[in-house]
Amino acid sequence: MRTEMPLSKPIRRILVHTEELLDTEISLLRQPEAEPGGTLVDKYTYDIDSNVIIFPAQYVGLLKDFIIAKHCTHLLIKGAAAKKGEYKVCSYNADGVYAGMRQIYIDALKDEAKKEKKLPVQKLIQMLFILFSHFNDDINEIPWNAIINADVYHRMPKIRKTQLYHIMKESKNDMDEMMEQESIVPRRYFVLNKAMFYARDMYLAKTLPADELMPVLNIPQMKKFNHLEVKEMLTTRWTHTAWYQSKVFGDNMLSIIEKPLGPVNWKEEPTLDYYYDLYKVGKLLTDNLIGYMTMRDWFVWEPPKHLLDAHDHKAEYEKDALKRIFGDLITDTLVGA
Amino acid sequence: MALKEAVEMAKKGLSYAKRTKYKEALAYYNKALTLDPNYAEGLFLRAAALIESGKYREGLADCDKAIAINQNLSEAWSKKALALYYLERIEDALAASTRASTLNANDVTAWYIKGVCLDEMGRSDEAQEAYGKSLELEIILDMHADAQRIRQKR
């Protein structure tokens, strides 16, 4: 372990455990512009020899410890799957981009038909791939976030308070995503985005357990649903709101999350097999969420390099998809703007 | 009172240190301390940069010089605790971090290092108390930083 900072005992233990189990090295890096949740740059995703956990420079105590614990756990899951030759991520290809953008476009047109103030065509077209890409990022993040937090909770009781604070903060930031674009993004996708975070937060609220994590208590836009009578909730006043719909879809997604995670024995010996099993559960959970959102033909399970290559070719994929959707109506001027 | 020019040099050094550019920071701190060798804050700032650069003994020496000039410089005690921890002098680090947290009860690092040292020495209950204090302060600082970021965005 290459580190230049004091670390509490549980964190030193998990770092050593991770390095030994995966026969690898981990460096810790403090950066002023790091993401609040830290970043894992690992050798199973990128073409590098060792792994780096990056965290915000201002985190000097337990907040950095939790970030390290979280990313070590993620590394263990990735590494265990990689050692079996089975580590894959949700990637995309040209056909998937076309399927996704086409579906988003159709849903956008349905929304636009009901609006008085229409979205400018250029903005609508630009939104298609951005939204597709956004869902690719979220589906590669949310299921694992739930699993990793559950594992850290069960294995590291001493950093529970830190974990709770971090999850509450992350939850508020996640729910704030897309808020500025609420009037632009088709309702379906706004709702599904919020629903995924709602389901994640509800799962963690039940697992930790921590009522404070329940979106109806933690998220300002959802507080109105707390203590609301079911009869009242079913009235038109509420059922037409995006946040109510997010709650309904979110409750369904919660069942999808709980099904594979319920039987997991979190106290099992933390061997490679245990983390490989967590990987399989995460993959199943991701597939089930993708199926629920009817996005099966959007994404493909491929090695991480495929996703990195997809990102390199995304402009090309977007352009091809637009050509397939709009034919000769699309011009380079419109696409390149 | 430190020389005005020394303070200016130290400020420049600090702006580099905040961006983790310790080599540049040290260059400015050295200039500051050439101008005023008894500039206590300059000494502990240089100590911090030396410690971040892995030069723990030199950092410790600067902390001791700063403390000799001003015994109540809590930041110097805090950095001293850090240097001693890296040098695996756990009991001394505990003493330094205890002194730092007594002088400045809002020093996150001092409380955290105290917790780490107590943990190392098998004094788990006391360690948890120190960690708890450190976390409380860290959360307050984090929330303030978030509020400031939101204000700056508007």
Summarised one tens digit per residue, pLDDT across range B112-149 is 999 999 999 999 999 999 999 999 999 999 999 888 88
The CATH number for B4-153, chosen from 2.40.50.140, 1.25.40.10, 1.10.1530.10, 3.40.50.2300, is: 1.25.40.10
Segment B64-110, tens digit of pLDDT: 999 999 999 999 999 999 999 999 999 999 999 999 999 999 999 99
A32–chain B nearest CA distance, Å: 6
Burial status of residue A220 (CB atoms within 10 A of its CB: 0-12, 13-18, 19 or more):
exposed
State pLDDT tens for residues A85-121.
999 999 999 999 999 999 999 999 998 888 888 888 8
CB spacing of B82 vs A31 below 8 angstroms: no
How many contacts does A have with B, using Cβ atoms within 8 A?
Answer: 60
Last residue of a domain, one of A83, A108, A134: A83
Is A27 an interface residue toward B (CB < 8 Å)?
A: no
A129 and A21 within one domain: no
Of A126-130, A145-149, A328-332, the poorest mean pLDDT is in: A328-332
Is A68 in the same domain as A129? no
User: Which A residues 56-85 touch B at CB under 8 Å?
Assistant: 57-63
Q: Is residue A128 part of a domain?
A: yes
- Nearest C-alpha in A relative to B111: A61
Closest residue in A to B56 (Cα) is A4
Report the mean per-residue pLDDT for chain A: 89
d(CA A192, CA A246) in angstroms, rounded, equals 7
DSSP state of A115: -
Residue A4 lies in a domain: no
| Nearest chain B Cα distance for residue A107, angstroms | 32
Whether residue A3 lies inside any domain: the answer is no
φ, ψ of residue A39 to 5 degrees: the values are -140, 140
pLDDT band at A3 (very low <50, low <70, confident <90, very high): low
Q: Which of A83, A99, A129 is the last residue of a domain?
A: A83
> Cβ–Cβ of B20/A32 closer than 8 Å?
yes
Domain count, chain A: 2
Co-location of A30 and A93 in the same domain = no
Give a yes or no: residue A217 inside a domain: yes
DSSP secondary structure string for all residues of A234-266: TSHHHHTSHHHHHHHHHHHHHHHHHHHHTT--T
Among candidates A7, A8, A63 on the partner chain, residue whose Cβ is nearest the Cβ of B142? A63
Q: According to the model, what pLDDT value does residue A331 have?
A: 65
Of residues A82, A65, A69, A64, the one with CA closest to residue A24:
A82
Over the range B132-154, which residues count as b (16 or more CB within 10 Å of their CB) and which as e?
Answer: ebbbebbbebbeeeeeeeeeeee
A62 vs B52, B82, B131: nearest CB:
B131
Task: Kindly state the helix (H) or strand (E) to which residue A337 belongs, with its residue range.
Answer: none
Same domain, A40 and A177: no
Helix ranges (DSSP H) in chain A: 9-22, 62-83, 94-114, 121-139, 142-155, 160-176, 187-207, 215-218, 230-233, 236-239, 242-261, 272-292, 304-312, 314-326, 332-336
Give A57's contacts in chain B (Cβ within 8 Å): 18, 20
Question: Above 0.90 for ipTM, yes or no?
Answer: no
Distance CA B54, CA B58 (A): 9
